[in-house]
Structure 1
Amino acid sequence: MTKNLLVCLIFLLGTGIVSFAQKKPIKIEEERKSNRLFLNAVNENLIDYDIAIKVEGTGFRQRKGIPRKVRVPATSKVNLISLVIERGKEPNYTYTLDVTDSLSRRAIRKDYEKIKIEPKKAITIYLTEKCVTCDTIVNPLKRSPYKFQSYVVSENETVKSQLEKAFVGASVPLSEMKNPVITLDGKMYIHIQSYEDLLMRLEEEGDPVPIRE
């Protein structure tokens, strides 16, 4: 499928990215089913947007009229438009987006798919054998929009060996830890006791609390 380059439009490996003033740009992903081409907006931010898409090109048909804004909730994927591919032709198109965080009651509300996004700092959680706070952190994290990795220390000898080396000389050995061991962008924390504590650590700057405290 051929795509043209516009000043406000960049296509990269089949995914269009339109930049504007926000933390992460809205992405447009293609989804092809039979003779239809769906253009879906992917919002990786923590706020909602109203988005309208204008598509121009050849090899397809679309509904006529002025594009209407569609509500794209935070951390979600929503279909903006579907194009009918003409028989024997390959769609060749360009698009522009009209995006605003000034939400309107007149925006179309469609079904949406929730997505997981990368947090400000990469989260890895090591679940210790005697952990009593793990559920209060992991369960809300599973319901959150954030991606994360977790390991059960007792079930992974390689992880256990690496962590034990980090705990040499610590006042509380790894085997007696009541909290999970958490790394944020590779920095280790052992005093996080709740999901709220984790969110606070994600936003803070500077060095973590040393293990030996």
Structure 2
Amino acid sequence: MKKTLYTFILLISYTLVAQEKPVRLVEEILKKRTILYVQNDTDSEKSVFLKVNPTGYRKSAQRPIIKKIPAKSKSQMLILIPLTDVESSYTYNLIVNDELETMQVDRSKGPKKEAPVSSIMRAEHIVFTKKDCKKCELLISKLQAKYIKFREVNIDTKNRYRDYLWELLDKDGYNKSMVAAPLGIISGKLYYPIDNLDGFVELASNKPK
């Protein structure tokens, strides 16, 4: 009986290991803190993007972390310190190269996979600017004055955010060579042209329902 039980437990453990992703979030739960790592079991270096949204921890919001994880290694990403007498949980978005995975971690229920998100653009406020753009500088200052979190992207520099913007503009029939900054994305929706800066700031300040 004991031998049969041991074999059964071993089989379950092997199945769980086999299902683990080669690049994944790993947590180390200590007495007064939780340390988050990204484990890379592949034979090549991986670029990862991690955005954590904790509840019941000392900080309720975290800035996105972009980091390169060497092959066959584990790299520390973040330390979460829970509040006393409060239930703690967190959600996170993990991008490995161009693949986004949305997960929810609840202490009472364990890891739970949510619906995948096609782009990080849907999770953040993005402002596209250009060099020597006075209107861009004014919009940035207005957002900062309202303490609104956003990502600024220079459309003169090649990057994946700009490439995604071009796709949206092409879909809407705009000629990207004629595009004037600033442009904005709020919850995945493109706002262009931004004629009313205060109106855009008001939209960005509203929490999604």
Q: Which one has more relative contact order, counting CA pairs under 8 Å at least 6 apart?
A: 1
TM-score class, shorter: 0.3 to 0.5
Instruction: Name the TM-score, length of structure 1 as normaliser.
Output: 0.35
* Structure with more helix by fraction: 2
Instruction: Name the TM-score, length of structure 2 as normaliser.
Output: 0.36
